[in-house]
A and B are shown apart, each in its own frame.
Chain A
Amino acid sequence: MLGYIPLGIAFGVLAVQMGFPWWFAPLTSIAIYSGASQFLILSLLTAGASLSAIFVAVFLLSTRHIFYGLSLLARYKDAHHKKPYLIYALTDETYTLLTSSPDRSSDFKITLLNQTWWFSGTIIGVLIASLINFDSSGMEFALTALFIVLSVELYKSNQELKPLVIGLFSAVLALYLLPKQHMLLAAISASSLVILIEFLRAKHER
């Protein structure tokens, strides 16, 4: 889980290098606290995206949290006063760590530590970028790399190739047919529709 520090540093450095004020990165590490979403809004805000576009994009990117949460319903049932924090601070990394061990007693500690590392990393990154001058052009690729890693990770854990193919087709088609700002929503809607049809067909066959 110490992996959160270097990635947090990269996020802090990138935010400052892209021209965001020093408080921006640490604030998002508290308010949003989701690496992928935080990286994504850097590019959305730089492009001057509308607030509704930001909402939709971040929500769609975060739908994976819905499925994490569903699988943790039973586990968090008796967490009492710790439950709100556990829900707020659920991330890819935390989910992976928690579900790799059946012991629930350290759930809160692990979750809190993860956010502490992520937040500290962000601060260190902001400091580095503010104090040291270097050419960071190309660093924005970290976002693409993160999405590629998450895709490969998902494929390795569930071996489902079909959703990836559906997503790729929808994305390329939307990219080709639509202006850039509508591509994300259109592609995700198209994929959802195809997946829904798949579900209905499978149900019908049974």
Chain B
Amino acid sequence: MSVNYLLLGIAVAALASIISRALPFIVLSKYANAPLLHFLGKQLPGAILIILVVYSLQDLSIFEADMSLTDSAKGWPLLMASLTVAALHFWRRNALLSIFLGTGVYMFLIQYCL
């Protein structure tokens, strides 16, 4: 990872962030009451978040190409830790608790149980 690549990566991500934040105030304000935007606002974020969950899980290789759970050491710890986070968040709805405990479970499983 060269410094140039890192800086360009940050710049590009910063641009994408600021566009997403400024868009409603600059171009979309006229359409604030459009039914389509309301519908997208209700439906799209949930779909995107679930896709990101799956994306970040496959990044850590829980699935094989044929969709079976991977034999690699990370598969089961990932599943356990993910379920911990989801269950904990449904129960206590405390973001910090869910993230820290879930990450702790995962770190413990891959560092001490494998």
Contact = CB atoms under 8 A, between A and B. Distances in A.
Contact of A7 (B15, B18, B78, B99): B99
A184 to B, nearest CB: 5
Given A44-B9, A148-B89, A199 B19 contact: no
Interface residues of B, number: 74
Given A55-B12, A145-B99, A149-B85, A69 B48 contact: no
B45 A154 contact: yes
A39 to B, nearest CB: 9
Interface string B89-100: 110010110111
Interface in A127-186: 135-156, 158, 160, 162-164, 166-168, 170-172, 175-176, 180, 183-184
Contact of B20 (A44, A59, A149): A59
Contacts of A72: 24
Contacts of B63: 175
Contacts of B107: 136-139, 141
Nearest to A46: B1
The A interface, classified by DSSP as helix, strand, loop or mixed, is helix
A10 interface: yes
A135 B14 CA distance: 31
A195 B47 contact: yes
Contacts of A154: 45-46, 49
Contacts of B109: 138
A64 B24 CA distance: 11
Contacts, number: 273
Interface in B45-69: 45-60, 63, 67
A54 B12 contact: yes
A7 B96 contact: yes
A61 interface: yes
22 contacts: A3-B95, A10-B103, A20-B6, A41-B10, A54-B9, A54-B12, A56-B16, A59-B16, A62-B16, A63-B20, A65-B21, A67-B41, A137-B107, A142-B103, A144-B57, A144-B82, A146-B99, A154-B49, A167-B48, A188-B51, A191-B47, A195-B47
Given A43-B56, A138-B111, A146-B99, 20 more contacts: A10-B99, A32-B13, A59-B16, A68-B24, A69-B21, A73-B32, A90-B21, A142-B103, A144-B56, A148-B53, A148-B85, A151-B46, A152-B90, A153-B95, A158-B46, A164-B47, A187-B51, A191-B44, A192-B44, A198-B39
Interface of A: 3, 6-7, 10, 19-21, 24, 27-28, 31-34, 36-38, 40-41, 43-48, 51, 54-56, 58-73, 76, 83, 87-88, 90, 135-156, 158, 160, 162-164, 166-168, 170-172, 175-176, 180, 183-184, 187-188, 191-192, 195, 198-199, 202-203
